[in-house]
A = this chain, B = another copy of it.
């Protein structure tokens, strides 16, 4: 891993608004974990379980809490929330935007009616349709296809080979990772007794500000109205959001989760990896759904949900799984027996 940037500890303390105890001039060129950090690197202590690694840590400085600071004599950056400060520190060493040149690659195909703000980067072979509006400093990666009349905010980034269907709207500071598709048709058909008749998907799709979408995820356009992704929503890889979902602000959706159509999700929810929800339900704020759990009905209060069974050795599992199929009858036999014993 190459980390080309470097800062003095004093600079880092100032940039992250942290109190520095130690050597102002110590030069830092990267970040690492407590266990593997070496000289020139910063580490962080957030989870008290790792406190014992502090003594042997070789990092040039550690981000930690006021309390932990008292027990550490090395260079330290004191934070109210060391994990958040660590997150902010990673941005200082991030090289992911180095390719943003502010230039339009000559191989890009851009419609004459598209309007690009100042500082927009368009990489090789990107295709931008008629009437597209792109805000300042937004970066369109190689091979991206933006269909007609899309609108993108400023400081937004589309990684390579992303596709935005016509009229998709993305806010400011949105990130969409490679291969994701925003605004494809929702899955709507009317069955006429012989075949499925396509319901043209006439709605749109809107992503608020500060939304991040992982790689190879899909967010469908609405049938009649728009699919809506709230500000600050974070979506991982290979997530599927059906048409007309409405996702509340700051909700987090982990990898391979899938929401069927017309699911309304509250704010600050968390969908675990591979979890899902059936269509046409409403989920309250701050609901957490465990990995691979299917939400099958509306949820009215905050809390954590789970479904499924625990992984066990195959032969053991098989015996229990067969009994699951007798569970209702086992229950009735138990009730019957209770009566007889009474």
Q: Which residues does chain B contribute within 8 Å of A179, judged by CB atoms? A: 161, 163, 179-181, 216, 218
A300 contacts B by Cβ under 8 Å: no
Stretch from A20-28, A114-122, A250-258 contacting the other chain: A250-258
Please state if A309 and B308 are interface contacts (CB–CB under 8 Å): yes
> What 0/1 pattern do residues 125 to 168 of A give for CB contact below 8 A with B?
10101000000000001110101110000000001110101110
A3 contacts the other chain (CB 8 A):
yes
- The answer on a CB contact under 8 Å between B123 and A124 is no
Whether A238 is near chain B, meaning CB under 8 Å from some CB there, is yes
- B200 to A185, Cβ gap below 8 A? no
- B-side contacts of A278, CB under 8 Å: 273, 291
Interface stretch (choices A7-15, A50-58, A68-76, A90-98)? A90-98
Least CB distance, A329 to chain B, in whole angstroms: 9
Contact partners of A127 in chain B: CB under 8 A: 123-125, 142-143, 160
Q: Decide yes or no whether A264 CB sits under 8 A from chain B.
A: no
Q: How many Å lie between the Cα of A88 and that of B225 in the bound state?
A: 18
CA distance A129 to B123 in the complex (A): 11
Question: Is the pair A124, B109 in contact by a Cβ cutoff of 8 Å?
Answer: yes
Which chain B residue lies CB-closest to A141? B145
Note all chain B residues with C-beta closer than 8 A to A165: 159, 178
Q: Which residues of B contact A328 (CB under 8 A)?
A: 316, 319-320, 322-323
User: Number of copies of this chain in the oligomer?
Assistant: 3
Please give the distance in Å from A77's CB to the nearest CB on chain B.
Answer: 15
Q: Does A266 contact B (CB under 8 A)?
A: no
- From B86, B145, B191, B198, contact of A212 by CB (8 A): B198
- In the assembled complex, how far is the CB of residue A110 from the closest CB belonging to chain B, in whole angstroms? 10
Check A240 for interface membership: any CB of B closer than 8 A: yes
Known contacts A181-B216, A308-B308; is A330 also within 8 Å of B333 by CB? no
Query: Nearest-CB distance from A46 to chain B (Å)?
Result: 8
Instruction: Give Cα A331 to B226, complex, Å.
Output: 48
Q: Is A285 close to B, CB under 8 A?
A: no
**Which of B94, B195, B256 interacts with A240 by CB under 8 Å?**
B256
Per the CB 8 Å criterion, the residue count for chain A at the interface is: 140
**Interface membership of chain A positions 285-298, coded 1 if the CB is closer than 8 angstroms to chain B and 0 otherwise:** 00001111111100
Residues of chain B lying within 8 A (CB to CB) of residue A184: 159, 177-178, 214-215, 237
The answer, among B109, B224, B321, B325, for a CB contact under 8 Å with A31, is B224
Say which residue of B203, B232, B256 sits within 8 Å of A196 (CB atoms).
B232
Contact A323/B331 with A1-B204, A125-B125, A145-B161 known, Cβ cut-off 8 Å: yes
Cβ–Cβ contact A311 & B291, under 8 A = no
- Residues on A close to B: CB < 8 A? 1-3, 30-33, 36, 81, 83-84, 86-88, 90-91, 93-96, 98-99, 105, 107, 109, 123-125, 127, 129, 141-143, 145, 147-149, 159-161, 163, 165-167, 177-181, 184-185, 187-192, 194-204, 210, 212, 214-218, 220, 222-226, 232, 234, 236-238, 240, 242, 250, 252, 254-256, 258, 260, 273-274, 276, 278, 289-296, 303-314, 316-328, 330-331, 333-334, 337-338, 340-341
Q: A1-B224, A105-B109, A274-B294 are in contact. List 8 more A-B contacts (CB 8 A).
A: A36-B225, A125-B125, A125-B127, A195-B232, A255-B260, A293-B311, A307-B309, A320-B326
